[in-house]
Structure 1
Amino acid sequence: SDDSSPLKLHLLIFFFNNGACSELQLHYFTLSSLVNLVRMLEVLGEEGLRSLRKKISCPAQHNISSEVSCPKPELPAHGRRLGRVFGVGHEVHFLCKPGYELIGPRTRVCLESLKWSGQQPMCRRESSFNSTENSLASFSPAAPSSSSSSSPFPGSAALSASSSSSSSSSASYTLSSSSPTSSPPSSVRPSHCTHFLGSTRCTCDVGFTISGRDNNICTDIDECRLFPLGQPGRLCVHQCVNTPGSFHCFCPAGYDLARDGRSCTDMDECENRMHNCTSNQVCVNTYGGFQCVTVECPHMKNATYIKTSPMRCERNPCMLGDKACTQAPNSISFHFLSVVSNMSAPRVLFRVSAARVLGDTLRFGLAGGRGRGHFSVQRSGRQTGTLLLVTPIKGPATLEAEVEMSELERNALLGRYLTKVTLFVSPYEF
């Protein structure tokens, strides 16, 4: 009833002031017990109160910590946690191993909301990071290089060619950092503290960690150092620059930042008309740039060629009995491919197929080119040969391979068809 409220308050004050029971234990008295006790006290008087206080026993202490407790706090990497009781009002303490510095509160208290005060602390190497310092990564843009693979060009009457799509692998870069300097004011901020019933709770904005002796300082978290480029789960595929409370990713010249804000997408300068190639040149888009190439028919002894398409030269008819002319390739096709640096191998780059076969035998092989040690030709069908990349290539680089297809009838040469493949290797792995 309403009348029992002041009686309950009176009894709580009496027992609390006289040390009979703790406040937590008094919560287990029933309301009817409180009313009966007050009536007894009025009858006994002051002398009886002293006698009753000696005889009264408090309710058995409940195991509050097992019934009401905070979740087990996590252990910081390279650190320790002191304290095994996680009940309301209990504290846990955190320490770091030698060579590491604690960032965040050293002590956390289990609050009545069953949550730990402050934020989860972390341990960082003292040599690589200082909680009051913030070093930005220094970098210089690289020269533009290669891009997406070119689409197949028209095949000749005697053969057709196609290039396989190449997938990019993950980048592995190391940022060089400038010498540590004092943090700008925006990287260290005061914490947001609230005071309630004699306790103080301080918090920080997203991207900051709490520190200081009294948890009164918020220090910027350098996400770029926590997730370096050379490790899985990196933030940026190319370059990461820390900002107060956040970070930004940057891409090299020739790339746009993707929608996810972390990846880089190649810009097609040829399609967007951002190149400076002349009308006599062919623009080849590469990963991070473009190349202006000039396709010219070769000059061979006793053999002349005429350009029948932008990427193909055909041999003019030979004089009767001119062996040197008949030994020259019937046609020469030019193809340009763009790949990323350190692409995994072996990998199919190009396929050459005969559109029609007049003889009884077809042979495929490498006729020449720069970087022959990186290539191999294998037969992949009755009328198809495959150009393989057998070793990874670190860019930037430009390699050439000449794939020859010979047509024979009873071991007599009927014709040779040459495909010149130029490989533009990007300096980047994306």
Structure 2
Amino acid sequence: MFASAVNLIALVYVCSLHPAFGQDCPNRQEIQGMLKQVQKLLSAHEASCLQSLRNLRKKINLLQSGTGKQTAKSTNSTCPKLDAPINGRKLGKSHGVGHEVHFLCDPGYEIVGSESRVCQESLTWTGQQPTCRDFNECASSPCLNGGTCVDEVNQFSCVCAKGWAGETCQSPVPTFFITTTNTSAGSTLAASTLPAATTGAYVRPSRCTIVQGTTHCTCEPGYTISGRDSYSCTDIDECELFHNGPAGKLCLHKCVNTPGGYRCSCPAGYNVTRDGRSCKDIDECATRQNNCTNDQMCVNTYGGFQCVRVDCPKIPHATYVKTSPMRCERTPCPLDNKACSQTPTSFSYHYLAVVSNLSAPRVMFRVSALRQLGDTLRFTLLGGRQARRHFTVQRSDRQTGQLMLVSPVQGPTTLEAEVEMSELERRVQLGRYITKITMFVSQYEF
């Protein structure tokens, strides 16, 4: 179209300069018609160019808009911020995909909801937002024999009714009758306490009655008539007498004989449970009864605690940074650095507290892939002879491997195991992920 307009203009220009062309040149009226035709052609061409420009601007705007959204998505690829529950704490600051956040409650409170939450690819958190609920120590009515329970921070106390004592009002209070009544031998019934031998914590006077001249003596609960002196009561050693009774030992750890009774004691780091027989672990981390520094994390164990500090490994050709309290990830590798790409992609650290002599086989930990890029996942147990003596790795499903305890462990001791999850595509390694599990095995089993 543009070439036709140029030809018409050239013809008009030549005829105006060389009138000698004569009848080969158009007349004035024909020239005006030609010019109008040229004007129409140029207008149509201009309109076509303007429309092309508009279409080009729309495509550029669409590209810019798409690029902006992609940039916004890449910069905002984190889950919403999570707040610590009231009367509790939050562990973990990273909100990126695959990262974990943990929650703890203050002493005297119990967690309701998810203790740990993971940021998913959908930029939502797993589980439910936890809350810390006041733990009512008196909910199970631990005080016996009419005692009144008083709820305290992480414990309870009992106000006992008259005649009862002990942590849960389980022991009767001895009542002594030190009276003398003169009575004839023919009396049918009279109360009397005969002269007793020297008394002490483990010796009490007996309570005697004379019936038709015959003396009958009885002792308080927890005492028995002495073989040498029928007027004295000696303490019964329940710990020795009922050491292996039909219902089992009186105490699951240690029995301590007391005047007229007994009590159960626990090793350091444990408290006696409400039934008075068993032992429960003291959570030194939750009650802040520990000496861990600010750069350490307190891990509660059975009978104690451990202060641990997670430092990222130093490996040649790679650099690792901490992305959460328990995770280190490798920084991006240069394209030409093959040695860097073959190092582990991430290291995760987990700590478990277990009792001595756990039965086996038993699943201790599971490792799973949040998302799978390749076509194969391979799980391998790393570590030395000790780890292979007690552990093995099995696959539970296509994306999950589990660390199995295969032989019981006698405490106290510490065991370490490493599980490697390798991601492959057509047998070519895409990434390696190391999970380090540390088990603190207690000395006692309850």
TM tier, shorter chain? 0.5 to 0.7
Aligned to 1:193: 208
Q: Which amino acid aligns with 1:248?
A: R
Aligned to 2:358: 343
3-state SS of paired residue (1:185): coil
Measured after TM superposition, the shift of residue 152 of structure 1 is 7.2
Measured after TM superposition, the shift of residue 255 of structure 1 is 1.7
> C-alpha deviations, 1:85-109, integer Å up to 9, x for none?
xxxxxxxxxxxxxxxxxxxxxxxxx
Contact 1:370 1:399 in 2 (8 A): no
> C-alpha deviations, 1:179-236, integer Å up to 9, x for none?
xxxx983223332221112333221111112342674332211111123389962122
Contact 2:239 2:256 in 1 (8 A): yes
Aligned pair partner of 2:373 in 343, 346, 358: 358
Aligned to 2:412: 396
Measured after TM superposition, the shift of residue 156 of structure 1 is 8.3
Instruction: Mark the runs of 5 or more structure 2 residues left unpaired by the alignment.
Output: 1-113, 127-197
**Which residues in structure 2 correspond to 1:13-412 (within 5 Å)?**
185-212=200-227, 215-228=230-243, 233-368=248-383, 371-372=386-387, 373-412=389-428
Aligned to 1:425: 441
Q: Which has the larger radius of gyration?
A: 2
Q: Which amino acid aligns with 1:427?
A: Q
156 and 421 in structure 1: CA distance in 2 versus 1, 3 angstrom threshold? farther
Q: Separation in 2 of the partners of 1:230 and 1:329? A: 57
Contact 2:208 2:216 in 1 (8 A): yes
282 and 184 in structure 1: CA distance in 2 versus 1, 3 angstrom threshold? farther
Measured after TM superposition, the shift of residue 369 of structure 1 is 5.7
3-state SS of paired residue (1:402): strand
Measured after TM superposition, the shift of residue 347 of structure 1 is 1.4
Instruction: Mark the runs of 5 or more structure 1 residues left unpaired by the alignment.
Output: 1-150, 162-182
155 and 184 in structure 1: CA distance in 2 versus 1, 3 angstrom threshold? farther
Q: Which amino acid aligns with 1:387?
A: L
Measured after TM superposition, the shift of residue 429 of structure 1 is 0.9
Aligned to 2:430: 414
TM-score (structure 1 length as normaliser): 0.56
Contact 1:314 1:330 in 2 (8 A): yes
Q: Which amino acid aligns with 1:277?
A: C
Q: Which amino acid aligns with 2:280?
A: T
The percentage of counterpart residues that share the same residue type is 64
304 and 241 in structure 1: CA distance in 2 versus 1, 3 angstrom threshold? same
Q: Which amino acid aligns with 1:374?
A: H
> C-alpha deviations, 1:318-370, integer Å up to 9, x for none?
12243322221111100000011112221111111111111111111212267
Q: Separation in 1 of the partners of 2:215 and 2:399? A: 81
Q: Separation in 1 of the partners of 2:274 and 2:219? A: 29
3-state SS of paired residue (2:201): helix
- Note the aligned Cα RMSD (angstroms): 2.8
406 and 389 in structure 1: CA distance in 2 versus 1, 3 angstrom threshold? same
Aligned to 2:145: none
Contact 2:381 2:419 in 1 (8 A): yes
378 and 402 in structure 1: CA distance in 2 versus 1, 3 angstrom threshold? same
Structure 1 or 2: larger helix share?
2
Q: Separation in 1 of the partners of 2:314 and 2:219? A: 74
Q: Separation in 2 of the partners of 1:398 and 1:344? A: 17
Flag the structure with more relative contact order, 1 or 2, with Cα contacts below 8 A and sequence separation at least 6.
1
157 and 376 in structure 1: CA distance in 2 versus 1, 3 angstrom threshold? farther
Measured after TM superposition, the shift of residue 249 of structure 1 is 1.6
270 and 328 in structure 1: CA distance in 2 versus 1, 3 angstrom threshold? same
TM-score (structure 2 length as normaliser): 0.54
Q: Which moved more, 1:220-229 or 1:293-302?
A: 220-229
3-state SS of paired residue (1:379): strand
> C-alpha deviations, 1:145-169, integer Å up to 9, x for none?
xxxxxx97666879x99xxxxxxxx
Contact 1:295 1:310 in 2 (8 A): yes
Q: Separation in 2 of the partners of 1:250 and 1:297? A: 42
367 and 232 in structure 1: CA distance in 2 versus 1, 3 angstrom threshold? farther
Q: Separation in 1 of the partners of 2:417 and 2:279? A: 29
319 and 157 in structure 1: CA distance in 2 versus 1, 3 angstrom threshold? farther
Q: Separation in 1 of the partners of 2:376 and 2:199? A: 74
Contact 2:199 2:205 in 1 (8 A): no
> C-alpha deviations, 1:229-262, integer Å up to 9, x for none?
8996212222221011101222222222222222
